[in-house]
Amino acid sequence: MITKQHRGGKSVRQLLDYCFRKDQAPEIVGGTMSGRSARELAREFAASRAAAAHLSHPVLHWSISYQQADMDAGLTAERRGEVAREVMRSHLEDDWAKLNKQRVKRGLDPFPKPDVDQWDFVVVAHRAADGKANPHDHLVAIRVNRDGYVYHAKHSHRAAPGIDRDLERRFGLASLPDREHQPSRPRIRPTDRTGYVAHQRDRVTVKDTVARDARVILDGLPPTQLSVEGYASALAESGLCLYREHSNCGRPRYYIGKSNGERWRADRLGFKGHDDLGRLEVPQNERHRNHHPHWDR
């Protein structure tokens, strides 16, 4: 099980419309609300929404993703509603403990422990029509309860893994595999949107591979080879080529690519335009030591 808190925003109706998309076969599996549609629930949320008028982002949105093994084991809708309620209760109490710790340090009276049943929230189950996404639920709430207590969500992303593992044990859910047993994803930072999409699909583009290799080679150059010629020779050993052209204003412009393929401008590969590689042309004794940490080697 994996839980994640999203930025709910300002409009609870807009979020509810997303949760009740027909292509996701929505089903209400838990909560404290009586409404059965986005319009009815938005009307019920009106009172707590008015109490949270002083908040810039009053809407609370959690996603709870399950593994297919949990579905095969017979995880019912009622059980999923109980899990969602415990997710919210655990995070409320974690936020309450952190908030009161700061209040005690300042000499203020602590707040009473919040009751999850005093919150207006609804849990909507989603099932992707194409079957590619894991079965998951959306928990929608307002950050202020009926008594005016505010949920601040302090470092909830840090508390989430521990809460998830605890709920897996309590509800008998399938545990996530250890990191060392998970297939490692290529740790290459995407350079553009195409690379980002490929990264999400566990693929790597040629451009991102060239960007990674070019940076690694530059960082590994010894001080005696910190020159354009030395860098070009090091790139050639890895099957890459360094091209240099001049712009209309006379500045050098560098391109890096495969010797028998496409090439990309250096600033499109993560380098800082002509300044990053252009300093290779400056004599070593004239380079400013604070310009780049690599020059101090």
Confidence of residue 250 (pLDDT cuts 50, 70, 90): confident
Q: What is the pLDDT of residue 132?
A: 54
Confidence of residue 295 (pLDDT cuts 50, 70, 90): very low
Indicate whether this model's pTM tops 0.85. Answer: no
Please write the tens of the pLDDT for every residue from 169-204: 999 998 876 554 555 555 666 777 777 777 666 778
Residue spans per domain, the chain = 2-181, 193-284
Confidence of residue 9 (pLDDT cuts 50, 70, 90): confident
Looking at the predicted structure, is the pLDDT value of residue 43 above 90?
yes
What is the rounded distance in angstroms from the CA atom of residue 237 to the CA atom of residue 231?
10
CA-CA-CA-CA torsion sign (88, 93, 98, 100): positive
The residue-averaged pLDDT of 269-286 equals 64
Looking at the predicted structure, is the pLDDT value of residue 287 above 60?
no
Q: What is the pLDDT of residue 288?
A: 46
Looking at the predicted structure, is the pLDDT value of residue 162 above 70?
yes
Q: What is the pLDDT of residue 170?
A: 93
Q: What is the pLDDT of residue 8?
A: 74
What is the rounded distance in angstroms from the CA atom of residue 264 to the CA atom of residue 213?
13
The residue-averaged pLDDT of 4-27 equals 88
The residue-averaged pLDDT of 261-276 equals 75
